[in-house]
């Protein structure tokens, strides 16, 4: 079960356009850090830091292939976030249901 800090890191990591783009590109899992860096108007080191943030959040993994380290997005990380949002929406639906139930009760036992 992910801790609150895990959730913090996941959402924090997703709160940056460059990092979201890296997640997208890394779905096809072919590029190393340097290749990823070529896509962005920043230094290699900056990109490397973004990858590190994603890695700490569990959203990507790195695999050594030759002299490169290929970045691969980890769906399970994404699912942790999605499940939480699903849960929020469930609770929301529950609220609607409770309100409906309340109206029904009122109708069935009118004052």
**Nearest-approach distance from CB 62 to DNA, in angstroms:** 5
Task: Determine if 8 is a binding residue for a copy of itself (CB under 8 A).
Answer: yes
List 28, 67, 91, 109, residue binding DNA (CB under 7 A): 67
97 binds a copy of itself (CB under 8 A): no
List the single partner that 79 binds among DNA, a copy of itself, none, CB under 5 to 8 Å by kind: a copy of itself
Instruction: Go through 75-91 and write b for each residue having 16 or more CB atoms within 10 A of its CB, e for each that does not.
Output: eebbebbeeeeeeeeee
Residue 21 CB-density burial (10 A; 0-12 exposed, 13-18 middle, 19+ buried): middle
Indicate whether 45 belongs to the interface with DNA (CB under 7 A): yes
Identity of the residue, 67 or 105, whose beta carbon is nearer to a copy of itself in the bound complex: 105
**Cα 25 to Cα 84: distance, rounded to the nearest angstrom:** 24
């Amino acid at each position: 079960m992910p801790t609150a800090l895990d959730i913090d890191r996941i959402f924090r990591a997703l709160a940056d356009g460059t990092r979201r783009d890296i997640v997208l590109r890394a779905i096809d899992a072919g590029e190393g850090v340097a290749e990823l860096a070529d896509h962005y108007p920043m230094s290699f080191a900056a990109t490397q830091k973004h990858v590190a943030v994603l890695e700490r959040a569990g959203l990507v993994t790195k695999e050594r292939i030759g002299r490169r380290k290929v970045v691969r997005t980890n769906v399970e990380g994404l699912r942790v976030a999605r499940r939480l949002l699903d849960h929020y929406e469930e609770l929301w639906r529950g609220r609607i249901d409770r309100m409906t139930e309340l109206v029904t009760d009122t109708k069935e036992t009118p004052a």
